[in-house]
Structure 1
Amino acid sequence: MGFPVSGLFLITLLTGSLLGRAGTAHWPSAPATPCADSAQSPCQGPPFVEVATPAPSSVWKFTRTQGTKEGESFAAIAKTADTAQSDPDFAGLIVRCAPKGKVDVLVALIRPFSPRSHPKVTITTAMGGTLTFEASMAAAGAAVLLPDEVSAFAAGKWQTTPSLSVVVKESDSEIKGMVALNGLREAYHSLLTNCGQ
């Protein structure tokens, strides 16, 4: 029996491949919760069940991934798309620690583009501002790496913006999505605290 790949599960896999080639994402430990179909036995593994809640009320997920060097690890935060206002191929947004104190912002996709693509990404905030960037691909085409200037928005204006509308265009393909930004301020500061660790 097959199950659809959830945006959160895909983002978890992406942060693993984006942050450390040989690493796997680690979730903060949490007590086991009962499965939806059984009040007796606890569910095992990461709490992916939160995907079932509406995206605007979902939280930023923190991941830490082992790097290629011993003792090296990288941190990222991710938010799944508002599925009611997003195309099925739009997974969400990732903000990750990058080398030399940088912070990267990526758009996670379910249907990848060519790794050599340079899609045009248009971002419109709920406050009305619109910007268009030329981006590059990461994670074998499953994530769109936005230019460095976008990280300044994640560190500032986006923290007081309710949501972002994102349009990714490559050749004849267009993928649209919406991400609620509630909780970004706290998640971003937590990310910065963990970047150098």
Structure 2
Amino acid sequence: MSSSVWKFSRTQGTKEGESFAAITKTADTTQSDPDFAGLIVRCAPKGKVDVLVALIRPFPPRSHPQVTIAASNGGTLTVEASMAAAGAAVLLPDEVSAFASGKWQTTPSLAVTVKESDGEIKGVVSLTGLREAYNSLVANCGQ
């Protein structure tokens, strides 16, 4: 199954020579809405790591959707998020990044619900291989 692989990518930043490393995992299409693309974990400035939910159908750029994340091995978190990438990605708050570096590495999958005034988008993402992918991401962050 191709959805079990975290894809490593590097995108150019706005400044000369600036680039951002990221790992992405596509949604489990059998358990997700067609508008739910997957999860993105990327390097952010000052050594931070951002976690984003990738969507096919963008939300308005100024919206602040409610995102509920339920780990398959227990524990649910609801946060207010903001939009990134012209509304096609939902940027989760910093507190969520700590889960990607810790708890989620032993969690089989996440169920994610993104609620906005005009509806909600649900998806499931397998976290298999996150520990290795996260470690290689962090090793590439400062480059």
Same fold (TM over 0.5): yes
- Of structures 1 and 2, the larger Rg is shown by 1
Q: Once the 2 structures are TM-superposed, how far is the Cα of residue 54 of structure 1 from its aligned partner?
A: 5.3
Q: Which has the higher contact order (CA 8 A, sep 6+)?
A: 2
Is residue 105 of structure 1 aligned with residue 14 of structure 2?
no
Name which of 102, 116, 119 aligns with 2:65.
119
Counterpart residue number, 1:195: 141
Counterpart residue number, 2:111: 165
> Distance between the aligned counterparts of 1:128 and 1:71, measured in 2?
42
**1:80-99 equivalences in 2 (<5 Å):** 80-99=26-45
Secondary structure in structure 2 of the residue aligned to 1:69 = coil
> Distance between the aligned counterparts of 1:115 and 1:62, measured in 2?
26
What is the count of residue pairs matched by the alignment? 143
Change (3 A) 1:172 1:71: closer
Secondary structure in structure 2 of the residue aligned to 1:85 = coil
Where does structure 2 lack aligned partners over 5 or more consecutive residues?
none
Counterpart residue type for residue 60 of structure 1? W
Where does structure 1 lack aligned partners over 5 or more consecutive residues?
1-52
Q: Once the 2 structures are TM-superposed, how far is the Cα of residue 128 of structure 1 from its aligned partner?
A: 1.7
Name which of 57, 60, 83 aligns with 2:6.
60
Counterpart residue number, 2:85: 139
Large movers: runs of 4+ above 6 Å: none
Higher strand share: 2
> Distance between the aligned counterparts of 1:182 and 1:174, measured in 2?
25
TM-score normalized with structure 2 length: 0.97
Preserved contact between residue 61 and residue 78 of structure 1 (Cα < 8 Å): yes
Counterpart residue number, 2:21: 75
Q: Once the 2 structures are TM-superposed, how far is the Cα of residue 178 of structure 1 from its aligned partner?
A: 0.1
Counterpart residue number, 1:129: 75
Q: Once the 2 structures are TM-superposed, how far is the Cα of residue 65 of structure 1 from its aligned partner?
A: 1.5
Identity between Structure 1 and Structure 2 (%): 84
Preserved contact between residue 54 and residue 82 of structure 1 (Cα < 8 Å): no
Counterpart residue type for residue 89 of structure 1? D
Is residue 183 of structure 1 aligned with residue 129 of structure 2?
yes
> Distance between the aligned counterparts of 2:95 and 2:73, measured in 1?
19
> Distance between the aligned counterparts of 1:73 and 1:195, measured in 2?
9
> Distance between the aligned counterparts of 2:140 and 2:91, measured in 1?
21
